[in-house]
Amino acid sequence: MTASPLPTGRATTRRTGEVPALPPWALGGLAIAALALALAALVDDRAVFLGAALVVAIFGAALVFYKPHIGVLVIMSTMLMSYPAALKGVGPFTINNMLGVILLTLLVFETYRSHDYWFLREPEIRLLIAISVWMIGISLISDLFLPDKRLLPAVSRAKVTGPAFYGNNDDTIRWIFELVSRLAFVVFFLQWIRSPNQLKWVLFLFAFCVASVLPTLGPDMTRGEAEYRITSKVVGWAVNLNRFAFMMNVGIALFIYLANVVRPVFWKLVFLSCAAVSMPLVMLSASRSGFIGLGLVSFLLLRSGQIPRRWKIGSAAASLAMLALAFSFVLTDAHRERLLNVNPFATTDVNAGPREEGSRSTEQRVSTLENAFVVISQYPLTGVGLSNFRWVNALMNGSYKPPHNAYVWAAAEGGLPAILMYLTLFSFLFTRIQKLRPKFRNHPTLPYLADWLHLYLVLFFFFSIFADVWIEVHLYFIVAFSIVMSRWAEEDELRGRGLPGIVAGTPGARRAASRALYRQTES
């Protein structure tokens, strides 16, 4: 196999000066800030606080300017954790908004210099943009074909004090903002997570955010009959019990993967301990999808090559023994009844107590799915728009509950075009990850990462049947991880054939290398 000569052409790029590694104004600025804070201390304590906050903000902005991937890590942490109120910011001046403005400015500047909009050529990004445009468009015009909210019955929303009624709170703008900001995060991730070591730090951050919720867990005292179920109110994904079980299953797989990747024995033990602690917590959540998901995680891990064959039998036996002990001695009768009761046709007695709470939940899910199909049959092409399903369901069926199925919910809010675009996106994503698995099997920094990503995606597909995990950030994480890994795999393939890599060189050189790659002839 021989490569044809590379076509020559003038590269379109703009020359700019090099940015110094440590500009001299940085030290001078810090000295001036320290002097200003010292003078402010003589005036007012509030002035000192505001001045210190301003200095930290300026220093953080400068750090993100020189190290954009740090800003990406911070944004990712805010998606997975809830920051204290003192660190969230005031009004629109939040951590995410400020970092988003800085990274967007850098993105515009870099694309202006290079004229390289490579991320727009990825089919998953195009589909995410198409889905976002469709969902936002339907939401903006939904008032033209949806009934008037004033027709809703005046029934107060559960767990809300005061005169709050179904549909009175319009969340459309918030959902649109979250949709756009998550799409922007994916682009930021693709642009500035440029090395395997940086991606490894992303995985460490992910694992830390999952493990940080463990000390805050407790019984769910706000649900009456379900007070025995373990959950947390600290982070958004841990409030909902099914999404909490999904995240803990993903965390178990991630902890085991990192235990195989890191070399120090101490950190191996730390990650294995986190995985061991997380397994009984999934059962304590009494989530039936989480319980089944544990078996799915075990099956996929045993099939993967990341665990050496000599350790698989011992690991499987130890896991089964731990789960059996937890099921017998840690769980209560209410936990066991709920985990084992998945019969949708079981009859219940209103005075039966928590032992039939599993049957009541199953019947309720079947009922909400039937209500969702009624909404879909009424609006099959357009759907009802972002965040409109609940109040439309309350008007049509007298229920404010969601369908607890992400596929059905997407069809109800975006119509058949939305669900078709989502399924197309999933097919592209699944195919991409399958191609990555053999390429990352012996990667020097992140071996078998594509296998963990495959497990992450399969769990996402599975839990979407029982929970609304699409409203979380996981889909965007999986898309970002897979595209970055594909880019590195393509880079290695090009360099292995003696061609310039897609990451190195000018845009013209990259285009020439790509053309040469597909013009090769058999020698």
Nearest to 476 by CA among 236, 193, 125: 125
Residue 316 clears pLDDT 80, i.e. is over it: no
CA-CA distance, 231 to 281, in Å (whole number)? 9
Q: What is the pLDDT of residues 378-399, one digit of tens each?
A: 999 999 988 888 888 888 887 7
Q: Which domain holds residue 107?
A: 27-112
In this prediction, residue 326 carries a pLDDT of: 72
Q: Which amino acid is at 220?
A: D
Nearest to 280 by CA among 214, 327, 240: 327
> How many domains are contained in the chain?
2
Nearest to 71 by CA among 174, 162, 175, 191: 191
CB 188 within 8 A of CB 75: yes
- Average pLDDT over the chain reads 77
Q: Answer yes or no: do 72 and 130 share one domain.
A: no
Examine residue 518 and state whether it is found in any structural domain, yes or no: no
Q: How confident is the model at residue 222 (pLDDT cuts 50, 70, 90)?
A: very low
Examine residue 502 and state whether it is found in any structural domain, yes or no: no
Q: Answer yes or no: do 41 and 142 share one domain.
A: no
Sign of CA dihedral 427, 73, 192, 95: positive
Lowest model confidence (mean pLDDT) among 329-343, 358-372, 376-390, 410-424:
329-343
Residue 25 clears pLDDT 70, i.e. is over it: no
The arithmetic mean of pLDDT across residues 368-378, rounded, is 89
Residues facing residue 89 across a β-bridge: 94
Q: How confident is the model at residue 34 (pLDDT cuts 50, 70, 90)?
A: low
Cβ–Cβ contacts within 10 Å for residue 475, how many? 23
Q: Answer yes or no: do 417 and 300 share one domain.
A: yes
CA-CA distance, 279 to 248, in Å (whole number)? 8
Concatenated DSSP letters for 18-82?
PPPSS-HHHHHHHHHHHHHHHHHHTT-HHHHHHHHHHHHHHHHHHHHHH-HHHHHHHHHHHHHSP
Residue 492 clears pLDDT 60, i.e. is over it: yes
Q: How confident is the model at residue 11 (pLDDT cuts 50, 70, 90)?
A: very low
Residue 485 clears pLDDT 70, i.e. is over it: yes
Residue 162 clears pLDDT 50, i.e. is over it: no
Concatenated DSSP letters for 302-362?
HHSSSS-HHHHHHHHHHHHHHHHHIIIIIS-HHHHHHHH---TT----TTS-GGGHHHHHH
* DSSP type of residue 394: H
Lowest model confidence (mean pLDDT) among 109-123, 307-321, 343-357:
343-357
Examine residue 34 and state whether it is found in any structural domain, yes or no: yes
Q: Which amino acid is at 229?
A: R
Q: Answer yes or no: do 102 and 189 share one domain.
A: no
Examine residue 344 and state whether it is found in any structural domain, yes or no: yes
The arithmetic mean of pLDDT across residues 207-219, rounded, is 80
Q: Answer yes or no: do 225 and 132 share one domain.
A: yes
Q: Answer yes or no: do 218 and 313 share one domain.
A: yes
For tokens 């002839």, name the residue. Answer: 521
Q: Answer yes or no: do 94 and 127 share one domain.
A: no
In this prediction, residue 344 carries a pLDDT of: 44
In this prediction, residue 354 carries a pLDDT of: 43
Q: Answer yes or no: do 359 and 421 share one domain.
A: yes
Residue 140 clears pLDDT 50, i.e. is over it: yes
Q: Answer yes or no: do 130 and 193 share one domain.
A: yes
Examine residue 320 and state whether it is found in any structural domain, yes or no: yes
Examine residue 345 and state whether it is found in any structural domain, yes or no: yes
CB 167 within 8 A of CB 394: yes
Nearest to 66 by CA among 104, 20, 117: 20
Q: How confident is the model at residue 227 (pLDDT cuts 50, 70, 90)?
A: low
Lowest model confidence (mean pLDDT) among 225-234, 243-252, 311-320, 412-421:
225-234
Q: Answer yes or no: do 108 and 135 share one domain.
A: no
Residue of higher predicted confidence among 287 and 312: 287
Examine residue 157 and state whether it is found in any structural domain, yes or no: no
Residue of higher predicted confidence among 276 and 316: 276
Nearest to 462 by CA among 296, 287, 300: 296
CB 414 within 8 A of CB 134: yes
Q: Answer yes or no: do 73 and 51 share one domain.
A: yes
Examine residue 4 and state whether it is found in any structural domain, yes or no: no
Q: How confident is the model at residue 351 (pLDDT cuts 50, 70, 90)?
A: very low
Q: What is the pLDDT of residues 283-293, one digit of tens each?
A: 887 788 888 88
The arithmetic mean of pLDDT across residues 73-95, rounded, is 75
The arithmetic mean of pLDDT across residues 313-317, rounded, is 75
Q: How confident is the model at residue 418 (pLDDT cuts 50, 70, 90)?
A: very high
For tokens 């301003």, name the residue. Answer: 54
In this prediction, residue 415 carries a pLDDT of: 93
The arithmetic mean of pLDDT across residues 238-267, rounded, is 88
In this prediction, residue 388 carries a pLDDT of: 87
Residue 347 clears pLDDT 60, i.e. is over it: no
CA-CA distance, 519 to 523, in Å (whole number)? 12
CB 158 within 8 A of CB 401: no
Tell me what percent of the residues of the chain surpass a pLDDT of 70.
69
The arithmetic mean of pLDDT across residues 68-91, rounded, is 78
Q: Answer yes or no: do 180 and 41 share one domain.
A: no
Residue 218, helix vs strand vs coil: strand
Tell me which range, 36-40, 184-188, 320-324, is most confidently predicted by mean pLDDT. 184-188
